[in-house]
């Protein structure tokens, strides 16, 4: 019985992604894209631009929901990016995306950090 109670407490604290029904009901989808990552995604003079922005726009339009872009910068690793943008949310405000586009595969882009994790 005790183990069942402990298990239920653990399950209650697990963060779940929003379901398709939740997204449709809320009338918006949050899609995470990398900032300053042309030609995929960037804000050029304040205007969202790039292939991933076009894909995100198409997804939202097809679903008939509002698109809310979550701009992100590359973290120490792809695992950190996934954790901070999809699973747990950013440590400052806990915001999470429903979908993340363009996991970096460009070695030069992923290495654009100095030894303390700041962009160079």
pLDDT tens per residue, range 13-56: 445 678 999 999 999 999 999 999 888 999 999 999 999 999 99
pTM above 0.85, yes or no: no
CA-CA-CA-CA torsion sign (43, 44, 47, 51): negative
Give tens-digit pLDDT for 94-120.
889 999 997 555 566 556 655 555 555
Class in CATH terms, 17-110: alpha beta
Paired tokens of 18: 């929003």
Parallel, antiparallel, or unpaired for β 47-49 and 42-44?
antiparallel
């Amino acid at each position: 019985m005790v183990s069942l109670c402990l298990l239920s407490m653990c399950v209650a604290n697990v963060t779940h992604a929003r379901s398709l029904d939740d997204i449709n009901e809320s009338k918006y989808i949050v899609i995470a894209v990398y900032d300053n990552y042309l030609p995929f995604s960037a804000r050029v003079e304040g205007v969202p631009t790039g292939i991933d922005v076009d894909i995100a726009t198409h997804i939202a339009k097809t679903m008939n929901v509002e698109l809310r872009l979550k701009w992100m910068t590359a973290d120490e690793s792809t695992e950190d990016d996934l954790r901070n943008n999809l699973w747990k949310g950013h440590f400052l405000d806990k915001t999470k995306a429903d979908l993340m586009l363009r996991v970096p595969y460009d070695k030069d882009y992923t290495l654009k950090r100095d030894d303390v994790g700041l962009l160079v």
